[in-house]
Structure 1
Amino acid sequence: MYLNVAEIESAITSLHGAYPASSETIDLPHLTHDGRATRLLRVGTRQSDEVPAILLLGGMHAREWVPPDALISLAADLLEAHDIGTGLGYGESTFTAAQVERVLEELNLFFLPCVNPDGRHFSQTTSAMWRKNRRPAPEGSVGPSCVGVDLNRNFDFVWDHKAKFAPDADVHTSDKPCDPQVYRGPAAASEPETRNVVWALDSHPRIRWMVDVHSAVPVILHNWGSDQNQSTTPSDNFRNPDLDTVRGRPDDGIGEFIAEPDLKSAVELAERMNDAARAVRGVDYGVEPAYGLYPTSGTSDDYAYSRHVTDPADAKVYGFTIECGDTFQPVFSEAEQVIREVSAALLALALNAPEVAED
């Protein structure tokens, strides 16, 4: 059975209690609209400022029930395997005891299994297909769809799509509070859940990679989602106001700049994640820039990578999205298989990320 919100928080407590030498719980500063507190679970034997780190997000969208369970499952697997000195196997995707040890002793993994606990609770108890958080409806609005914000349109990256994109760019977001799916919120980072993710990045500058686990396509996405990638014209980037009337159009010769070495690293890491996921039971997720799915603004993965461009004092954080499985709430026997695919992919990232970053 899928974990509910209380069980996710209980699992975080229990895992830290069972493995105190290789984990830490970290309170996030912002309560949700319904007053819920959320925490990070750091998995690793080194202090947070000692080694590079990966931030793992799940449950951004309420109806996507698999990702939070996948992150709790992976954290439990890693902590137990490291404690007893064994490897891990997910179908034909296998990892040795030495590899598990390397992950926990040379990296930190910050797990935020359920970014959106209010939404998950509502999805699991009232409306299964609910996607957004539970921000109260604006005064004067009518109808249940007027509640909530799509958290993965709320981050401070070309958030104001009407000002930042071509009118015909078909960017998948909305400024209408009663949009039932993709309302971006009243301001960038208006939501406490969004601000908790920003706080995690701000407070842990050794984070170099971030993966936001979603469902369901499946596919592994890398930067960018705002426009097609290009590596020849550095001035053509999200900070250039001259692109605000043309951003997001396909095949127009203008795209979002990403340095060639960064693009090479992002693609290589995504492909290694895909290889590991495919080895579980033969499902090929595939790899593509996020724009290949559809143009977006205000997403977590693009925000994470954009930070070092906006402020060179910030660490460079490669952003990825794993869209896992092919349905939001599969029967749990199928969910367990998807959880294995996600676990294998994330372990492959952890093992390969430091090496690829040094290339």
Structure 2
Amino acid sequence: MFLTYILLVAAAFGTSYSASIQNEYKTYKDYKLYRIEGERQKLQNFILQTMTELPEIPFHNIRGSVAHALIAPELAETFEEGVRLANLVASVEIDDYSEIISLERGGTRRSGGFSWTAYYDVDDIYRYLRNVSDWWPDLTELVVGGKSYEGRQILGLRINTPSQNKSDNKPVVFIESGIHAREWITPATTTYFINQLLTSDNPNIRSLRDQFDWHIFPTVNPDGYHYSMTWDRMWRKTRSKSPGSLCLGADPNRNWDYNWLQHGATSDPCNYQTYGGSKPFSEVETKTLSEYVASLENLLAYVAFHSDAQILLVPYSDSEEHTDNYDDLIKIGKTSLEYGKKVNGEEYGGPATAAEILYKASGGSMDWVRAKLGTPIVYTYELRGTYFHWPEHRIPEQGDEVTQMMLGLFEEARNLGYY
């Protein structure tokens, strides 16, 4: 019965997918956002089988016995039947996702000033970083972490308060954001965090700034982010050409050279979600960024921001294997989440590995940094949202949560002797 469902959806999806790779604005008119509920193991089996056979159908916000999926109108009836056959329950949370996108685009500013009540395209984010480096020349400098397929720089900001002791070798903290193009809240909260580090009068935040050599990159997939802003709100991948295919892009968080393509990724270049690329580091973004990260001496922490599962993840994502400091990472992570909860009362899932709390996924940046570089403190924060939408006027909510989470993270890391 379930196989019948898979075949039916495959046939239907074959008629709908080709439009998603055309160079015209995709409205998502009449796409429905479903909430799927049921016994946890049945739900996991349903998601895993669907992702394996039909990875074009995106699931998200997977938490325990609940998940969400965005479904094209021509697939809605078949999808509902598949949910029924799997002994699960589906309900429609958003009847027409284009209305959400229209509201979001209405508030998006693409030129002019910069604030945290709107979403901005790559050029505006980079202009902000350049302005910041001009405003605080003694504390900051622009850094280039790599380049993109379309020729953009992966531009970041280094924040390093001058030390009285010139020989000080501060611990380095690297922040990665925006690796998945559609996760707009992550560049927004990252620039908010930059602003907090530089302008806050809170002595704890100023101390956090001064203790580390920060390398912060708001959008490490600039081509994909720009495309998401201008053509397809739900675009996730890079924009590279795939060998032997007309389909574009690879998932940059399945393209790192650690257990590449073993779990939660596909070799199909037309996969809309998790194509791992033609080889490890096939994407110029991941290759050049990895080289930058590997060049950093005294790298204490690597923190990646995603959305919108509202969970905290630790390595490793593709197996039940734990790092040798797993217990410490759990303790540090719990303190971080406790600090974040004080802001808005929001509960996050985890800390846990993706294999434990979501599903197995190989080729991610977090696992590569931990396994290949031995960086001791490595996390992925999945921020809040409703299928990648977060109201622009509420960006400061998450920005304040992230700031407090970073305070909690590094306070507990210090308590445990990591620096």
Q: Does 1:22 align with 2:131?
A: no
Distance change (3 Å), C-alpha of 1:177 and 1:121: same
User: 2:390 maps to what in 1?
Assistant: 330
| Contact 2:221/2:238, CA 8 A, preserved across alignment | yes
The equivalent of 1:349 in structure 2 is 409
Q: The residue matched to 1:153 in structure 2 has which SS?
A: coil
2:176 is aligned to 57
| CA gap 1:177/1:13 in 2 versus in 1, 3 angstroms | same
Which residue number in structure 1 is paired with residue 275 of structure 2? 183
Amino acid aligned to 2:333: A
Could you state the TM-score of these two structures normalised by the residue count of structure 1? 0.78
Q: What percent of counterpart residues are identical? A: 27
Superposed CA deviations along residues 258-302 of structure 1, whole A, max 9, x for unmatched, are: 22xx11221112112211211111111122222121101001111
Q: Deviations over 1:172-220 (max 9, x none)?
A: 2111111110000011111121123312321212111111100001001
**Deviation at residue 74 of structure 1 after TM alignment:** 0.6
Structure-1 separation of matches of 2:375 and 2:183: 28
CA-CA distance at 1:79 after TM superposition = 0.8
C-alpha distance in 2, partners of 1:59/1:65? 7
Structure 2 match to 1:11: 128
Once the two structures are overlaid, the 10-residue window that deviates more, 342-351 or 277-286, is 342-351
* Deviation per residue, 1:308-347 (Å, 9 max, x gap): 4xxxxxx534221100003212221233322222222123
User: Would you identify which runs of 4 or more consecutive aligned residues in structure 1 move more than 3 Å?
Assistant: 46-49
| Aligned mates of 1:189, 1:322 — CA distance in 2 | 23
Deviation at 1:152, TM superposition (A): 0.4
Matched, 1:2 2:111: no
Aligned to 1:282: 345
- How far did residue 158 of structure 1 move? 0.2
Indicate the residue corresponding to 1:154 in structure 2.
255
Q: Rate the CA distance shift 1:268–1:329 in 2: closer, same or farther, 3 A.
A: same
Contact 1:42–1:109 (CA under 8 A) maintained in structure 2: yes
| Aligned equivalents of 1:204, 1:49: Cα separation in 2 | 15
Q: Structure 2 vs 1, CA of residues 49 and 125 (structure 1 numbering), >3 Å: closer, same or farther?
A: farther
| 1:105 corresponds to | 210
Aligned-partner Cα distance in 1 for 2:192–2:272: 31
C-alpha change, 1:192 and 1:350, in structure 2 (3 Å) is farther
Residue aligning to 1:247:
none
- Of 154, 177, 191, the match for 1:72: 191
Per-residue CA deviation, residues 63-92 of structure 1 (Å, 9 max, x unaligned), is 0000001111111111112xxxx11xxxxx
Name the CA distance, whole Å, in 1 between partners of 2:211 and 2:147. 32
* Kept in 1: contact 2:256–2:286 (CA 8 A): yes
Question: Helix, strand or coil for the counterpart of 1:26?
Answer: strand
1:126 is aligned to 231
State the partner residue of 2:377. Answer: 318
Counterpart-to-counterpart distance in 1, 2:276 and 2:257: 10
CA distance in structure 1 between the partners assigned to 2:330 and 2:309 by the alignment: 18
Report the TM-score, using the length of structure 2 for normalisation. Answer: 0.67
Larger Rg: 2
Query: 1:342 and 1:101 mapped to 2: Cα distance?
Result: 15
- The farther-off stretch of 281-290 and 44-53 is 44-53
Relative contact order, higher structure (CA 8 A, sep 6+): 1
CA distance in 2 between partners of 1:196 and 1:72 (Å): 22
* 1:198-213 mapped onto 2 (5 Å cutoff): 198-213=290-305
**5+ residue gaps in structure 1?**
88-96, 162-170, 229-255, 309-314
State the match for 1:300 in structure 2: 365
Aligned equivalent of 1:45: 161
Shift of the 42–197 alpha-carbon distance from structure 1 to 2, 3 Å rule, reads same
Contact kept? 2:228, 2:235, Cα under 8 Å: yes
The 1:211/1:282 distance shift into structure 2, 3 A limit, reads same
Say how many residue pairs are matched: 296
* Conservation of the 8 A alpha-carbon contact between 2:192 and 2:396: no
Return the offset for 1:130: 0.3
Q: 1:195 to 1:356 in 2, by over 3 A?
A: farther
Secondary structure in 2 matching 1:319: strand
Q: Kindly tell me: are residues 149 and 202 of structure 1, through their superposed partners in 2, closer, same or farther at Cα, counting changes over 3 Å?
A: same
Quick check: 1:150–1:182 contact (8 Å CA) kept in 2? Answer: yes
Cα-Cα RMSD: 1.9
Change (3 A) 1:357 1:185: farther
One-letter amino acid of the counterpart of residue 219, structure 1: I
